[in-house]
Structures are given as structure tokens and as C-alpha cells.
Amino acid sequence: MTAHTAQTAGAERAGASGGLPWIEDAGLIAPRDARRLSRLFFDRLQALDEGTPEHQYARNTLIEMNLSLVRFAAGRFRNRGSGDMEDIVQVGTIGLIKAIDRFDLAREVEFTSFAVPYIVGEIKRFFRDTTWAVHVPRRLQELRVDLAKAKEALAVELDRDPTVQELAGYLDLEEEEITEGLVAANGYTAGSLEMPADAGDHAGRTTAGRTYADVLGEPDPAMETVENLHALAPLLGELDARERRIIDMRFGQEMTQAQIGDELGISQMHVSRLLSRILRKLHDGMLAQD
């Protein structure tokens, strides 16, 4: 690389970084340095316009610098028995991104303390949505694990599948509890919708190629939208004129926070705080209706 090329590349990086330090590989930043640099990047991020290269650089660098938080949180779920670590880290990263988008230095709290609950919450939601096909009480979820271990141990010892009575004796439980646990374990995974829906009809004709998915109805996305709008209508009516205008500009006209600030003659940070307050008010109102 010539001196002129290096100088040009340096100038392009300086422009893309929006005055922030240029970091080639943010994933190599030590956690202690990441905490210090994160405050600098968050401070600058709040002043940058959304969608600009500078804003994208600051946001992406914050994500990469703080991936160690995701790996730390994911390690707590290493032995949950469903999903490999790569899936867990990917899901945790979604929580990290949500935390970055919602963090405000004005909260006067460390980003690590703010982000970890988002990351852990996203991972727990992943396990909740992908592990048990139906809701099962916690004691039965725990019993499923004990039953699996007992069945494996007894199968080796007996050279066959154990009976309910043998499982009850091994675990020192009542047979009714074992039966209940075995039934509940069926909710751990769901059958595939691609399974054949019917071996044949009453006339003896086969229905090859027809699956459960073909005969199941589907939720209409428009219905949920209608329900949400119906619930929001009275809540929007309780907002004052300025709050309704901000909501309309942000979600009706899809204006950026910077554009809204220019329109109202206030800073982007002020717009962000107003939006957070308005959305929190609407969210609380929706919860109160449930």
C-alpha cells in the first residue's frame, strides 16, 4: 500500500467513524477496555443520525465490543439440553442489540448491568419457545430429566426398557408420579406438521401427500393488527396534541428522531426521551387492559 493509498484509507475511516476511534476488530477489545470505550461510543451514538455510516459504525462496534457479555450469559445455559452454544449465542446477541438500541447514558447505570437482563431474557425466551411444546409445571419438567437418566441407567442394567414400577423404585417415587411424569414428557417435543394427516379415507382411498399442515387453519395477521389498533385507539386519544404529533411523525410518516427534532426545534436526545416516555405510557395502558 502506497503512502497516498494509506492516507486515503485513513481519511475514509475517519469519516465513517464519525470522530470516534477506528477499531479494526472490536471483538479483540478486552472487557475492561470495552466498558470504557462503550461510554464514549454511546455518547457519540446518541448525537448521530440514524441510518448514516457514522451511526452504523458506532452501533456495530458497540455490538462487537460487548459480545463477551453474550458469551458470559450463554455459558450459564450450556447444559440445558436443547440447542447448541452457537444458537444460544445468536439468540443472546439479539438481546444485546435490543439493549444497545434502548440504552441511555442518562440512566446513570453501567451498560453491562443494563444489558445482561436483556441477553438472559432473550435466551430464556428461546428455551421457553423451542423446548416444551406445551406448558408443563416446573416440577414435571425437572422430573423428565430424572426419568431420562433413570431409564438410561435401568436399560443398561436390565437390557430392556424399565417398567413404571421399576422406575418408581429406582427414583423412590410413587407410581402415579412416574406415570404423570411420563405423560408430561410427551409435551417436550411436538410432532411434525409434515406427518401424513391420514392413512386413508373411509372408502379405502389413500391421501398420499396430505399432511397436518395442509388441513390446519392459519391465524390471520390482519386480525392481530385490528385488535392492536382497536386497543390503542382510546389510549392515543388520551395523549396530548404534541405527543400524538410525535407518534404520527415517527410511526406514521416514518421520520427519524433527528428529523423530528428539526421539526419541533429540539435535540434528537430530547426526542428519544419523549418517545420513550410516550411508548411507556401506551405500553402500560395496553397491559392495564389485559
Q: What is the pLDDT at residue 214?
A: 58
Residue 269 vs residues 31, 43, 113: alpha-carbon distances, Å: 27, 10, 22
* Pairwise CA distance, residues 108 & 117, whole Å: 17
| Chain segment 216-229, per-residue pLDDT in tens | 545 555 545 555 55
Side chain identity at 121, as an amino acid letter?
G
pLDDT level of residue 6 (50, 70, 90 thresholds): very low
Look at the block and give the residue holding cell 438500541: 101
Comparing 54 with 144, the larger pLDDT belongs to: 54
Task: Output the nine-digit C-alpha cell for 70.
Answer: 453474550
pLDDT score, position 10: 43
Residue type, 284: D
State the pLDDT at residue 64: 92
Q: Which helix (H) or strand (E) holds 119?
A: helix 111-130
Residue 2 is predicted with a pLDDT of 43
Q: Which helix (H) or strand (E) holds 284?
A: helix 268-289
Query: CA separation (Å) from 214 to 103, 133, 152, 209?
Result: 44, 20, 37, 9
- When mean pLDDT is compared across 95-104, 136-145, 173-182, 251-260, the lowest value belongs to 136-145
Average pLDDT score over residue span 252-258:
86
Question: What mean pLDDT do residues 134-149 have?
Answer: 72
**Grid cell 494509506 in the structure block, residue:** 6
pLDDT digits (tens, 9 = 90+) for 38-97: 888 988 888 888 888 999 999 999 999 999 889 888 888 776 655 578 888 888 999 999
Half-sphere exposure (Cβ direction) of 234: Cα atoms closer than 13 Å = 7
**What secondary structure letter does DSSP report for 26?**
G
pLDDT digits (tens, 9 = 90+) for 155-202: 888 888 889 899 999 999 888 888 887 776 665 554 455 555 554 444
List the domains of the chain with CATH numbers.
3-130 (1.20.120.1810), 138-215 (1.10.10.10), 238-289 (1.10.10)
